[in-house]
């Protein structure tokens, strides 16, 4: 199989994340939680914001965040309780190597490098990407809580506790001080 065909196949594989739900939210009572793709999109956006605020490379942080959950095409979304039973058996870098096998070398290196950097947490961009993952979960939790899922508070609290950057902590506080629809009120010029 040629590299272009293999890459095209991966595009279909990546698309399966649009149908995979973030399983932890089921424990909070959310019947139709966000997909892995929806989570990854906002995580990438937040990573670029955090990196900009932290003086890191926003494009690199967003790239790392884009790839942070792509291994879930092979493993599914394993929530934190499930990880207690499978931890150690799933190596994200090993998955990335398998996923990119047969693709053009520069592409394979890009993907493997982004995954390795995220896992190592040794660069400012990787730390921003990880904080973005936690901040996105916090934001989503606040949105689910506003929809009546009070048990989402556990995810909000756990996510907040794991944020490391100054900017991430400040954004978490700002999210918690507001309401999900405040942006619309502001855009419409309404007082809250």
Residue matched to tokens 């914001």: 49
Q: What residues make up the domain containing 173?
A: 3-187
> Any idea what the CATH number is for the domain that residue 129 is in?
1.10.3210.10
Whether residue 94 lies inside any domain: the answer is yes
Residue matched to tokens 């994340």: 17
Whether residue 87 lies inside any domain: the answer is yes
Whether residue 192 lies inside any domain: the answer is no
What pTM was estimated for this model as a whole? Answer: 0.94
Whether residue 139 lies inside any domain: the answer is yes
Amino acid 88: pLDDT: 65
Whether residue 8 lies inside any domain: the answer is yes
Whether residue 64 lies inside any domain: the answer is yes
Amino acid 90: pLDDT: 79
Amino acid 85: pLDDT: 82
Taking the C-alpha atoms of residue 190 and residue 182, their distance in angstroms, rounded to an integer, is 9
Taking the C-alpha atoms of residue 168 and residue 47, their distance in angstroms, rounded to an integer, is 9
Which residues in the chain land under pLDDT 70?
87-88, 192
**CB-based contacts of 5, cutoff 8 Å, min separation 6:** none
Domains in the chain, number: 1
Tens of pLDDT, residue by residue over 82-116, are 877 876 677 999 999 999 999 999 999 999 999 99
Taking the C-alpha atoms of residue 117 and residue 94, their distance in angstroms, rounded to an integer, is 13
Amino acid 87: pLDDT: 64
Whether residue 7 lies inside any domain: the answer is yes
Whether residue 29 lies inside any domain: the answer is yes
Amino acid 191: pLDDT: 76
């Amino acid at each position: 199989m040629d590299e272009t065909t293999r890459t095209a196949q991966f595009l279909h594989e990546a698309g399966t994340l649009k149908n995979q739900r973030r399983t932890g939210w089921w424990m909070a009572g959310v019947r139709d939680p966000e997909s892995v793709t929806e989570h990854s999109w906002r995580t990438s956006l937040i990573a670029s914001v955090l990196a900009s605020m932290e003086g890191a490379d926003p494009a690199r942080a967003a790239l790392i965040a884009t790839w942070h959950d792509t291994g879930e095409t092979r493993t599914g979304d394993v929530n934190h309780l499930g990880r207690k039973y499978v931890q150690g058996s799933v190596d994200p870098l090993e998955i990335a190597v398998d996923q990119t096998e047969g693709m053009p070398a520069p592409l394979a290196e890009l993907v493997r490098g982004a995954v390795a950097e995220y896992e190592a947490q040794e660069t400012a961009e990787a730390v921003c990407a990880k904080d973005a993952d936690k901040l996105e979960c916090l934001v989503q939790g606040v949105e689910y809580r506003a929809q009546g899922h009070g048990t989402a508070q556990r995810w909000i609290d756990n996510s907040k506790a794991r944020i490391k950057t100054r900017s991430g902590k400040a954004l978490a506080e700002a999210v918690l001080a507001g309401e999900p629809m405040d942006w619309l009120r502001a855009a419409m010029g309404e007082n809250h």
